[in-house]
Amino acid sequence: MSTKAFGIVFAVLVMGFIGGSQVNIFLLRRFNSQQIFFFALILQVLIGSIFFAGIESHLVGLKATLVLFFVFLFCIGLTYPNSAALALAPFSQNAGRASALMGFLQTGTGALVSVGIGTFGASSIVALLSGTAATALAVLLLGRPYIASMVMNHDAETVVMH
């Protein structure tokens, strides 16, 4: 791939992420963060699984890889802002500390992922993305009742305070 083609591909893939974030704004008018997050995460796991299986079986070419990666990044554009909102919702009194901790955890996870890719090679990226999305879905499914109660309690406290 030429440098110009790579730049175009990179720009289009980034548009997937940005597009997901922009679509999220419109979806929030009709759905809550939990609903959007849950749906986007399920779609992300599905796309990641198809991506992983296709790459491992050598059935996915460059065009399919780019389409799958675009959709995966679009899902990240949906999950990221909603996960941040849900994670910070119960901590309105300590939002700055909670946000700093979240940033630290994200940066630390990124560092660990970089070490993993360096150790296992660049071909492990698809497996890593699929595994990360599947882990996030498992945590969501296991923690869903807890998340719902934390957000509901926070919403009730906010109403009482105002």
pLDDT digits (tens, 9 = 90+) for 137-161: 777 777 767 666 665 555 544 444 4
pTM confidence score: 0.74
Give the burial string for 119-142 (b: 16+ CB within 10 Å, else e).
Answer: eeeeeebbbebbeebbebbeebee
User: Above 50 in pLDDT, residue 18?
Assistant: yes
User: Above 90 in pLDDT, residue 77?
Assistant: yes
Residue 152: the pLDDT is 59
**Rounded mean pLDDT of 113-138?**
70
